[in-house]
Structure 1
Amino acid sequence: MTHRTNVSDCMGSYFGMPDAPCRSVVPLLSAPFTMSRLERSLIANERPIIRLPVTEAYFLMLYFESATHCDIMPDETLSSPRRYERHTVCLVDLASGPAIELQSRLDALAFVIPKELLREISENPADAAPRLRCRRGEADPIIASLAQAMLPMFADRYGDSRAVFQHLAIAICAHLLHGFAQKPLHIAQDWLQTVQRLMHDRMGEPFQMAEIASAVGMTGATFDATFRARAGISPETWLTHARIRRAMTRLRRSLLPIEEIARSAGFRDLTRFEEEFHNETGMTPDAWRKFTLH
């Protein structure tokens, strides 16, 4: 039979659901694979804070219904609400101490995948554990299909389901390793374009530059020095310029409120956005919009 984990081991306890169904299995050598069935409805004006445990593992969640929550940043501020549609996933590194504010009903299947398990399953188990890139709100039909196949295990409808659970756990890990493992990039001619694309793809959300450095296999100091040597400016300055250019385009092409455009360009502080915009263009955002619309 599959192993029923203790209540204290279940991810449900972190989501305010200590009795949430939870199952665990060791697919290969020693590292466990754990899944929890999470179903929670909110009462009026309830906004629970969910703080996940800090450990050397990845947290993967597959949404069975659309859900909305905000990330809690390291300074305890909230990101803009993000809506996760049905059958999309969220994949985060638990070592970073992720936390969210839940803003809607949650109906999901959550997995805890130790980095040691990924090392055991990888092509070169003697190497360090592979690193995965975080994913937020991406549709993943393969994970959705595998998750659906795991649901009967909570009711033991597969009977002695340990072998099935092991195979499905390995399939999920192999899928993540195949599609989302970070591979350190050599400093080639396209290095700067690669880094700028990584920042551009996340421009509309708050993130730490250390995350980009990690994605290309560098320490923060090495990344900063390499970027300055190739671009002539710091990565933070380049990102600010890129965000202002996005805002300029959206001000010219839409009548959305300025605060909404600022958020879409990655600015959570309207005053700072207006200051940076004026430094870049010599105009306020409102003046720029009026100038370009006439």
Structure 2
Amino acid sequence: MLSKTVSEIPGTPPQAPAAATALGLLLAAHPAPAGAVTALVTALAAASGRDAHGCLLVALAVLAGQLSVGWSNDRIDLRRDVAAERGDKPLVTGTVQARTVGAAAVCALALCVPLSLASGLLAGTAHLVGVAAAWSYNLGVKATILSWLPYALAFGLLPAFVALGLPGHPWPPLWLTAAGALLGAGAHFTNVLPDIETDLAAGIRGLPQLLGRQASRSVAALALLAASVVLVLGPPGTPDTAGWAGLAVTGTLALATALPLGTRSRSRLPFLTTLALAAVDVTLLLLRGSSLT
């Protein structure tokens, strides 16, 4: 149950002073990816022609969804993280109570529903399906060979959330949906890389765990590179100099995820590289002025 407290989990440390709760709650939300995804989707909304109010609705809906996913992930994985002695997890160190994180996850999810539907029924449904896919990953799909699918679905539907909220409710072009799905799949592999050994010890048998560290690096690089190629070549017209230069940059970043480059096995650098690549991709899309419809 999400309401069970960390003190009730055998082997967990005592709760830290209450003054640290806010920081612990923030860290348990996975702020880096949550903030990055929110910023990038909001940028897409602004480029699509949404007014300030529409962009704010998009930002709040995406942020609520991301927070719910991050908090639910840490709450659901608490026992596993305790067993793995994950000192980087606020729930494991007792910085924040499990009941607090569980309640925050439920509240964020509840807020996500009206915030998503405020952009329209079709747009809101697209976003909520993506959030549901992310929750399904946390609730068990992560341990199966289809672990990549929730990421691909959730990221692939983000352009639809933006486009379907525009007048006429147009569906985004197929190339944009495909690029989002490829980017999501690549992000899944780079996000899992640091935890492959502990996941295997805990019985998690997702696709990256089954493939192993180096094969997962290669798959991540291919998916991320494919996403960039689709974003550069997918829009009508011939790519300009900025497009080719951007593809060179994203290609280099994708290659960096495939090479250990002396990084520690638990390094989060590949995932941070993925976030940087996504930012470059969205920037290229905006510079080309490509329509989302």
What TM-score results when the alignment is normalised by the length of structure 2? 0.31
Relative contact order higher in (CA < 8 Å, ≥ 6 apart): 2
Name which one, 1 or 2, has greater alpha-carbon Rg: 1
Bigger helix fraction: 2
Instruction: Normalising by structure 1, report the TM-score.
Output: 0.31
Greater fraction of residues in strand: 1
